[in-house]
Each structure stands twice: as C-alpha cells, then as structure tokens.
Amino acid sequence: MSSDSAAVDSEIVVLDNGVPTAARVYDVMLNGKDNYAIDRQVAEASLSVMPELKEIALHNRAILHRVVRHLAAEQGITQFLDLGSGLPTVRNTHEVAQEANPDAKVVYVDIDPIVLAHGRALLQDNENTRVVTADLRKPKEVLAHPDVQELIDFSKPVCVMLVGILHHLADDEDPKGIVQALRDAVVPGSYFFITNFTRLSDSPESEELEKVLLSQLGTGRVRTPAELEEFFEGLEILPPGIVPLPLWRPDEIVTDATTIGVRFMTGGVAKKN
Ligand code: SAM
C-alpha cells in the first residue's frame, strides 16, 4: 500500500479512490502501513488539533486487550463479535481471546473491505475466526450474515464489542437504537464493551477534533459523558464504570489521569442480566 495504488489479495482489490476511511486513518495513528496519502492528510490534520491521538489509539488497543482477557479468562465468555474491528493489528481480539481459550470464537465485522482483504490472509488457518464486511447501521443484516450465524451461537452469551466505532455513526443514524437492537439479540449473561470519543468540557480540543473529522472524514461525533452513558441503558455496568480508558482495571498504575491523552476516550463493560 505504500505505493498508494491498491491493496490486493486473491479475492478483493481495494483501490485508492481518493476518499479517506476511518480504518486507514486509525492505521496511521497506530503507525501501520495500510494507508494512503489522503488518510495521512486526515491524520495529520487531526494530530494538529490533538497531538495525543496516537497515544489515545494505543490506550484504545490496550483496554481491548484487558477487557477481552478478563471476559475470556475470568468470565468464561467464548464468543466475541467485534464490530467496527478495524485492520487486524498486532494482538487483535482473536489472539487475546484464544490465548485464554483456544476454542473461543471471534467474528470481526467492518464496513471497509480492506479489513476483509487483510483479515482473510491473516486468518485463513484459524477456523474459530471470521472476517465479515457489513454495515453496523444495519444491525439485523450484520446478525443475519452467514459467517456470523455460522460461528456465533446466539443461544449462548456473546461479548458485543463496539470499540471506537459509535463515534463514526451520526446521531440521525441512531447509534443508541443500534445498540438496543444488538442488546435484544443476545441472551442474558452477554457483555457489551464500548469505547468512544468524549467531549471534554474543560478543553476546546475535543470540539476542534470533531470539526476536523466531520469535515475531512465525514464521521467523528464526539459525545458527552451523558450521551455515552445512554449506550449502556438497561445493562449492568461493571466496576469501575465508564471511565477514561487507561483507568479501566489498569495493569499498571496511571500516574497522571488529568491529561487529554488519558481522558479523551472513555469506555466501559456492561452485562445483560
Ligand atoms: N475497533 C477497532 C479498535 O478500537 O482498535 C478499530 C476502531 S476504528 C477507529 C473504527 C472502525 O469502524 C473502522 O475500521 C471503520 O471502518 C469501522 N466502521 C465505521 N463505520 C462503520 C459501519 N457503519 N459499520 C461497520 N464498521 C464501521
């Protein structure tokens, strides 16, 4: 992809059509190589208003590892539906879950076909993992997808992962209704793991970033803590609550929790009873 032309695998060709995508902009933040000049432009514009974004992307990956490890190793969750999964990066959900339980099933779902192109090559020998191209804005179609139906047994608890994805849905796309539809589709004992951009009332950067993302990427809605809490409605939120990502059951002590890098994304885990 460094040629800025095309990403190719045996079944899919992803062309650089001059439009940035969230998956590839996020890849820039994680210092990945699967991005085009147009994605790097959006990343640079975003970093110019919030230089901490690379640190924040790493916090988002780190909480994913802690949550999946906790649910697979300590709560006996054996199925993970990772929605808006992004490009497969180092230590992705299936690696963490299957380290705790080799039989754990993981389905990655993303709207960007580049995720499928990379995922297929990476996961061809892993029968407990699938990559699906689907649009979260149509949750019924996501749930009915043959690969989702084949791997996930909806009569058993599932962890539904909405990690860094709901801010890519506009208010009029009804993200709350989408979470509710997913909640209704899973059995009690299932978990929801959500992280999101958070509006910081004491710093203009969060609003500035929203402006840059909405104008250049077309998505990137920065929501207030109250709006984020609504996504967890009807669910039992696990301690320590909806918190800045590094503060969710940290492996290491966080020495300064006041920075934008720590606070801009918040998240939590909740159980359906
Ligand atoms: N979940 C990963 C993580 O936190 O490391 C990746 C998050 S990345 C910031 C957001 C992902 O959501 C991108 O890969 C993007 O393609 C995907 N996405 C955006 N809108 C989507 C939609 N409507 N349906 C499915 N995926 C979507």
CATH number reported for the structural domain that contains residue 94 in this entry: 3.40.50.150
Tell me whether residue 163 is in a domain. yes
- For residues 7 and 5, what is the distance between their CA atoms, to the nearest angstrom? 7
pLDDT digits (tens, 9 = 90+) for 107-121: 999 999 999 988 887
Amino acid type, 205: E
Residue 166 Cα to ligand 1 middle (Å): 8
The answer to whether 156 and 77 have CB atoms below 8 angstroms apart is no
Residue 83: phi and psi, rounded to 5, are -95, 125
Instruction: Give the span between the Cα atoms of 55 and 127, in whole angstroms.
Output: 33
Judge whether 76 lies within some domain: yes
Burial class from Cβ neighbours inside 10 Å (0-12, 13-18, 19+) for residue 37 reads: exposed
**Is there an atom of ligand 1 within 6 Å of 23 CB?**
yes
Among the listed residues 261, 264, 94, the one whose alpha carbon sits nearest the alpha carbon of residue 167? 264
Whether 221 is in the pocket of ligand 1, judged by its Cβ within 6 Å, is no
Q: What percent of the chain has pLDDT over 90?
A: 87
* Spatial CB neighbours of 229, under 8 Å, sequence gap ≥ 6: 242
For ligand 1, is residue 174 a contact (CB within 6 Å)? no
Is 201 in a helix, a strand, or coil?
Answer: coil
Kindly report whether the global pTM for this prediction surpasses the value 0.90: yes
Centre of ligand 1 from the C-alpha of residue 255, in Å: 30
Residue 97 burial (C-beta neighbours within 10 Å; 0-12, 13-18, 19+): buried
CA of 203 to the centre of ligand 1 (A): 25
Ligand 1 centroid–CA 163 distance in Å is: 8
Tokens of 106: 């993981």
Q: Are 84 and 21 in contact (CB under 8 A)?
A: no
pLDDT, average across residues 242-248: 98
Asked whether residue 147 is assigned to any structural domain, the reply reads yes
pLDDT computed for residue 219 by the predictor: 95
In a domain, 136, yes or no: yes
Per-residue pLDDT tens over the stretch 122-168: 788 899 999 999 999 999 999 999 999 999 999 999 999 999 999 99
Band (pLDDT 50/70/90 cuts) for residue 17 is confident
- What percent of the chain is helix, strand and coil (3-state, nearest 5)? 45, 15, 40
pLDDT at residue 47 in the model: 98
Distance 119 CA to ligand 1 centre (A): 14
Does residue 208 fall inside a structural domain? yes
At 232 the three-state DSSP class reads coil
Give yes or no for residue 105 CB within 6 A of ligand 1: no
Nearest CA to ligand 1 atom 18: 84
Q: What average pLDDT score do residues 75-80 get? A: 98
pLDDT digits (tens, 9 = 90+) for 174-228: 999 999 999 999 999 999 999 999 999 998 999 999 999 999 999 999 999 999 9
User: Which SS3 state, helix, strand or coil, does residue 28 take?
Assistant: helix
Please give the number of the atom of ligand 1 that sits closest to the Cα of 82.
1
Report whether pLDDT(84) > 90. Answer: yes
Band (pLDDT 50/70/90 cuts) for residue 15 is low
Give Cα 232 to chain centroid, integer Å: 16
Residue 1 lies in a domain: no
Task: Report whether residue 110 contacts ligand 1, using a CB cutoff of 6 Å.
Answer: yes
* Number of separate domains in the chain: 1
Q: Please check whether residue 28 lies inside any domain of the structure.
A: yes
Residue 3 pLDDT > 50: no
111 ligand 1 Cβ < 6 A:
yes
> Sorting pLDDT into bands at 50, 70 and 90, what band is 14?
low
- Nearest-atom index, ligand 1, CA of 86: 14
Per the CB < 8 A criterion, the answer to whether 235 and 272 are in contact is: yes
> Binning pLDDT at 50, 70 and 90, where does residue 83 land?
very high
| Contact (Cβ atoms closer than 8 angstroms) between residue 79 and residue 158 | yes
The answer, yes or no, to whether residue 1 has pLDDT greater than 70, is no
DSSP category for residue 238: P
Query: Range of 194's domain?
Result: 6-271
